[in-house]
Amino acid sequence: MLTIQLIPALTDNYIYLLHEPVSGKTAVVDPAEPAPVLAALQQNNWQLDYIFNTHHHGDHVGANLQLKTLTGCKIVGSNADKARIPGIDQTVADGDIVQLGNQTLQVIATPGHTSGHIVYYCAASQALFCGDTLFSLGCGRLFEGSAQQMWQSLQTLKSLPTSTRIYCAHEYTAANGRFALSVEPDNQDLQLRISEVTELRRQNMPTLPSNIGQELASNPFFRPDSLSIRQHIGMEQQTDLTTFTQLRLLKDQFR
């Protein structure tokens, strides 16, 4: 099993430090800034071997070059984004495998938020490092991809085992929950999740990881087939894709 350490960064980012204890190999996912990563490495007495990037945005690759210079680590990222990921050493694509010691991470292409977005799924550790594709109670904005691409990406993630823990890159759960409640106010699983999230945030604790099972029950972007959601947004006769597209537009406008 991977040892996974959550590192808060910037305003609401999360960086994930992954350590495989048998080999001692260590990777960091989407390092936004170097200082908290270096502090965590020193605290644990770990040597950084890899950076796993999910996409090219600055709050996910901001520490790439400095960490590479200081540690000699290798940077892994999407082949489709190789021109936009600083210091990239190894390119990967959908279906490829990344090895961290004796733990295997599968690369899954999830375009939508960006055109080259990928996620890393470790079945043995029941962990998904999903960047800005999937959030707890939400999904990423469509900066480069289409709603259809994002919907298909989410379909892929929905099919993972329900016990799969979701390690996304931002603390957006409370805000996402407010929108989710506006489109499905009678969802008791959602109401319970929001109560839990409210208490965690009151204690200044992370709301992550979530898991696929929780998201299937409460995340509106996993649930465009919900009759309640369709009735609330006037999409009773529409397809799942059309309903999802409308949900994403409504979320973009939600305040």
Rg (CA), the chain: 18
pLDDT in tens, 24-74: 999 999 999 999 999 999 999 999 999 999 999 999 999 999 999 999 999
Average pLDDT of the chain?
A: 97
Terminal-residue alpha carbon distance, the chain = 40
CA dihedral (136, 141, 142, 147) in degrees, to 10, reads 50
Distance, in Å, from the CA atom of 221 to the CA atom of 162, rounded to the nearest integer, reads 16
- Which residues, 6+ apart, have CB-to-CB distance to 243 below 8 Å? 224, 225, 229, 230, 233, 235
**Partners of 27 in beta bridges:** 18, 50
What are the φ/ψ torsions at residue 205 (nearest 5 degrees)? -105, 150
Percent of the chain with pLDDT over 70: 100
pLDDT in tens, 123-141: 999 999 999 999 999 999 9
- Which band of pLDDT confidence, cut at 50, 70 and 90, is reported for residue 95? very high
Distance, in Å, from the CA atom of 12 to the CA atom of 170, rounded to the nearest integer, reads 5
Type of residue at 78 = S
Distance of CA 33 to the CA centre of its chain: 17
Query: What domains can be seen in the chain, in order of their start residue?
Result: 3-253 (3.60.15.10)
pLDDT in tens, 146-169: 999 999 999 999 999 999 999 999
The half-sphere exposure of 239 on its side-chain side, counting CA atoms within 13 A, is 6
**Strand locations in the chain, DSSP E?**
3-9, 13-20, 25-29, 50-52, 74-78, 90-92, 97-100, 103-109, 118-122, 127-131, 134-135, 138-139, 165-168, 210-211
pLDDT in tens, 176-213: 999 999 999 999 999 999 999 999 999 999 999 999 99
Question: For residue 255, what pLDDT is reported?
Answer: 83
Positions marked active-site:
55, 57, 59-60, 113, 132, 170
According to DSSP, residue 234 is labeled T
Distance, in Å, from the CA atom of 110 to the CA atom of 152, rounded to the nearest integer, reads 8
Question: For residue 108, what pLDDT is reported?
Answer: 98
